[in-house]
């Protein structure tokens, strides 16, 4: 019997170590990504809480894109985590990777997905309030313009009628009260 491991045993050991390194890298990388997403949501929630209307209005388009992109990403990440955990289930424990790490990622992903939906709903509600306030201001301006029109349209009509350069006998007043002779 040889003291050296067989070629297959060495290949299996190398494959396990590559799997373990890849899984550790994946777990670390995905954890960083999920942490950055959480920080971004914190910033958006803070902006919504302070109610800075101009900042909210200016950021809405970027936020919408952010929300939709991250909802899609989280859905696919969660599916990929489950697939990797199922595919490498026994191999992960042999490679000294605790399947709990994947379960934590799946849980964190689910929590962030729920939080993302909540923040999205909050952002949309805030934007509806901002747009309602803007509509109210526009309605107030339209009301003021209507009041000005109420005053100036009749005055304009009267000045238009009496400012016409018509002969006097065309006016109804001229026949009943005065008789002018034209030469």
91 located within any domain: yes
Counted domains in the chain: 1
Tell me if the pTM is above 0.75.
Answer: no
**Confidence at residue 92, expressed as pLDDT on a 0 to 100 scale:** 58
Q: Which structural domain, as residue segments, surrounds residue 129? A: 7-162
3-class SS string, 107-176: HHHHHHHHHHHHHHHHHHHHHHHHHHHHHHHHHHHHHHHHHHHHHHHHHHHHHHHHCCCCCHHHCHHHHH
Task: Dump pLDDT digits (tens) for 106-146.
Answer: 888 889 989 999 988 988 888 888 888 889 999 999 999 99
74 located within any domain: yes
Asked if pLDDT for residue 182 goes beyond 70, the answer is no
16 located within any domain: yes
């Amino acid at each position: 019997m040889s003291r050296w491991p067989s070629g297959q045993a060495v290949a299996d050991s190398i494959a396990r170590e590559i799997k373990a390194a890849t899984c550790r890298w994946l777990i670390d990388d995905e954890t960083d990504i999920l942490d950055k997403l959480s920080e971004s949501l914190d910033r958006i929630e803070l902006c919504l809480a302070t109610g800075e209307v101009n900042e909210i209005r200016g950021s809405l388009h970027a936020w919408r894109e952010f929300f939709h992109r991250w909802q899609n990403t989280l859905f696919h990440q969660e599916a990929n985590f489950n697939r990797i955990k199922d595919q490498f289930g026994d191999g992960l424990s042999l490679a000294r990777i605790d399947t709990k790490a994947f379960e934590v990622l799946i849980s964190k992903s689910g929590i962030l997905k729920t939080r993302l939906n909540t923040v999205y709903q909050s952002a949309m509600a805030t934007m509806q309030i901002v747009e309602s306030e803007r509509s109210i201001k526009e309605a107030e301006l339209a009301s003021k313009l209507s009041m000005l029109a109420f005053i100036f349209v009749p005055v304009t009509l009267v000045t238009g009628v009496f400012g016409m350069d018509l002969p006097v006998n065309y006016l109804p007043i001229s026949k009943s009260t005065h008789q002018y002779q034209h030469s």
